[in-house]
Chains A and B, each alone.
Chain A
Amino acid sequence: MKVEFIDAGGVNTRVIYEGDKSKKAILLIHGFGIGAESWLLNIDELAKDYYVVAPDGVGHGFTDPVALNGGPPHGVNLKHFFDVADAMGMDQFVPCGSSYGALMAALMWFEAPDRVPQVILNGTGSCFNSEEELANALQGTLKNAGGAIRTPTLESCRQRMGNTVYDVSMVPDDLLLSQLTAYAQPTYIGWWEEAMKGMMDIPAIRPYRILERLEKFDVDTMIVWGREDPRGIYERAVEACKRMPKAELVTFEKCGHLPYLEYPDLFHAAVRNFVK
């Protein structure tokens, strides 16, 4: 596992990466309000078979924020992830996103289908919730993550991550220490609050919704979901999968919102089985 600070379209960006560039590339896209270290247990292991790149999104982790001008962060994020892919020499890649990051992964296919041969979506209300459910889920995020980000302590970071997984003991300390420092950065909370406000503006995010166009999502897709996911409703994943032409659903039992972190071995086997 290596870390590099790169210039991605003018944005100073932290990228965690590993693997041989000649192999198939996987772009790991973290969820909203957490950073690339959420893939800590996956990067080295997947890099045995793939070129794995896990950036911090704009305003997240140790990547600089970008002005949102009152709008939702989706467009800015999407451009940034393409800029990262370009800077890291990834022509074709499999975007693998978690939660809000899964919405980014799906949108990358809509935007550049030729570059995206397959897609992996992990526990994502952003993709499959109705507008009403999404508004509710975002209220939960605002409450749960907001507390940890506004007054970060190692313990509040642990509790916040713990609230989204099935078993809090599955959250490794490794990512909490890094999270604590990331949240304390002077620009962090302001950008996060502005971005949250933009995300909760439903008419403004409507162009970035995919629930209403799942039938057009004509790409080989693996959906990974924890049965007990408290953020993304499991039934929505089942329904969505049926509407997508080329999707399969992999369900993890006794698992919450972060299947790749909660059951890394199962996750790696599923990815290896899917990306060949």
Chain B
Amino acid sequence: MRAKFIDVAGTQTRVLHEGEGNADVLLLIHGFGSSADTWMHNIDALGQDFHVIVPDLVGHGFTGSVDLEDGPSHPKAVEHLFGVLEVLGIDRFVPCGSSYGGLLGASMYFDAPDRVAKLIINGSGSTFNTEEQLATALQGTKKNSSIAMLDPTLESCRIRSRGTAYDPASVPESFVFMRLSIYSQPYIVEAWRNQLDAMMDMDKMRPYRIYDRLEDIAVETLVVWGRQDPRGLHAQAVAGVERMPNARLVTYEECGHLPFLEKPDQYNADIRAFLAS
């Protein structure tokens, strides 16, 4: 695993990465309030076969924030992700997103279908929840994250990080410590609050929803879901995948919101198989 900072249209951006430039590109997109570090068990393993690119989203991790211009964060986040690819000279890629990152990956497909070779969506209420369910989930996010965001201690970050996993012990301490340093940056808390508030404004969100356009995702898609995901309902994933023309659902038992972190060996094998097929 390597790290670098790049300038994406004026926004300093941290990118974790591994793998060769001529291999297929896998763009790992973390969830809301998270950071690239959440993929720590996948980057080296998948970097053996793919060129793995893992940026921090705008206003997350060690990436600068941008002005939301009174809208939701989605279009800004998607624009920034395309900017990352441009700086790195990448054309075709496989977006692989977690939670809110799953929605961003799907949005990238709608923006540039020719560039998206395949699509991977992991435990993503943002993508498959109804508006009502999404509002409830966002309340949960706000409640779960607030304590860690507003009073970050190793313990509050540990509680927040473990809050969405099935087995709390599956969340590495190194990730918890990174989160502590990240959440202690004043601009991150401000960006988080602004983005979450904008996200809870359903009228402004609606144009960026994917749920109503699932039938239009024609690209081969793998949906990975933990049976016990407390943020994205498994039943919604089942229903959502049925509406997608070229999608397959893989369910992980005894698994919560972060299958790639909770069951890394199984996950890395599944991704390899999906991308090889």
Contacts and interface: CB of A to CB of B under 8 A. Distances in A.
Given A3-B152, A173-B172, A173-B174, A180 B184 contact: no
Interface string B166-186: 000000111101101101111
A220 interface: no
Given A177-B37, A177-B40, A184 B5 contact: yes
Nearest to B180: A3
A151 B4 CA distance: 10
B14 A5 contact: no
B2 interface: yes
Contacts of A152: 2-3
B79 interface: no
A178 B125 CA distance: 30
A109 to B, nearest CB: 30
Contact of B175 (A5, A62, A177, A186): A177
Interface in A1-20: 1-5, 14
Contact of A14 (B4, B14, B40, B184): B184
Contacts, number: 72
A2 B178 contact: no
A174 B184 contact: no
Contacts of B44: 154
Given A177-B37, A181-B62, A5 B3 contact: no
A228 interface: no
B1 interface: yes
B181 A174 contact: no
Contact of B181 (A14, A44, A184): A14
A165 interface: no
Interface string A159-194: 000000000000011111110110111100000000
Interface of A: 1-5, 14, 37, 40, 44, 62, 151-155, 172-178, 180-181, 183-186
